[in-house]
Amino acid sequence: MEIIGQQMVNGITLGGLYALIALGYTLVYGILLLINFAHSEMFMTGAYVGYFTLNGLSKIEFFTASSGGLLLLYVIAFLAGMIATGLLGMLTERFAYRPLRNAPRLAPLISAIGVSLFLQNAALLWISSRSIPFPVLFEIRQFDIGGVNVSSMQILIVGSTILLLLVLDTFVSKTRVGKAMRAVSQDRDAAGLMGVNINYIIALTFFIGPALGGAAGMFSGMYYGNIKYNMGFIPGIKSFTAAVIGGIGNLRGAMLGGFTLGMIEALAAGFISTGYKDVIAFAILILVLVFKPGGLLGESVVEKV
């Protein structure tokens, strides 16, 4: 029983990372019907920006002299990583996707793959081809809860992830800009006729999604202890899988799919084999596509009469 509990804790932590990345896929798909395969590199970019920010500011004594300074240091690093990644997402949309907005769907898809390869090789050539240790400057405490070991890092990751997911869900469902995003998702032309600035909404979408992916990249670096130029590939594929399982284009579906996939992987690794966890995860995807093609919560698609 304790093994099940431990694997569930590990799965929830991993699922939180998948959910954050999956939101970027589902946001973009919901508005443009585009699978942004460059989103994996946004995850990687956030990790590198956070790494350089932490390395640079940690040399200032103010940030390392007290727990309050360390907290401020990590807040600044996360903001820097999210903002830089969001701006990179907007830049990608402006020059790689906007010119192809009215082109056949295959064209922006190929463009997305090209952007992904470009960013990955840029990190390889300009930064390093090796794994880089990610700085964790605070003490990681361990808690024993009913025989299950839970670390303060896991609590931080899951708590922050759920908070970010709730903030995004509230933003999209309750705010004026969020309603505009939903309007563009349902009918772009009609939304434009009603006064919605289409380019602004799409650019904002490409800021929010990558920003969340950048936060996930920093969490991944803190959790696993290192970052690498190709670190986004596998999590990106898994997160796309999570978005499809939950219902592509559905925000809450992306959250559910992320946590579901994380739990499946952790339980498979604990009770079968770590070598089969990917096989089982993608087998679940196939089953979902066969028996419930719209995903667990249904694909967010408006039927036109």
Q: DSSP assignment of 113-127, as one string? A: HHHHHHHHHHHHHHT
pLDDT per position in the chain (305 positions), as tens?
677 888 889 999 999 999 999 988 898 888 888 888 899 999 999 999 999 999 999 988 888 888 899 999 999 999 999 999 999 999 999 999 999 888 888 898 899 999 999 999 999 999 999 999 999 888 888 888 877 889 989 999 899 889 988 999 899 888 999 999 989 988 888 888 888 999 999 999 999 999 999 999 999 999 999 999 999 988 998 998 898 888 887 888 888 999 999 998 888 888 887 777 888 878 888 888 888 888 877 655 443 33
Torsion over CA: 54, 225, 168, 43 (sign) = positive
Q: DSSP assignment of 43-63, as one string? A: HHHHHHHHHHHHHHHTTSHHH
- pTM beyond 0.85, yes or no: yes
As given in the structure block, the two tokens for residue 261 are 């996939």
Which residues have a Cβ under 8 Å from the Cβ of 88 and sit 6 or more positions away? 42, 45, 210
Bridge partner list, 132: 227
Q: Are residues 280 and 264 in contact, defined by beta-carbon separation less than 8 angstroms?
A: yes
DSSP single-letter state for residue 139 = P
As given in the structure block, the two tokens for residue 106 are 């295959």
Q: Are residues 120 and 129 in contact, defined by beta-carbon separation less than 8 angstroms?
A: no
Give the pLDDT score at 275.
78
φ, ψ of residue 253 in degrees (nearest 5) = -65, -40
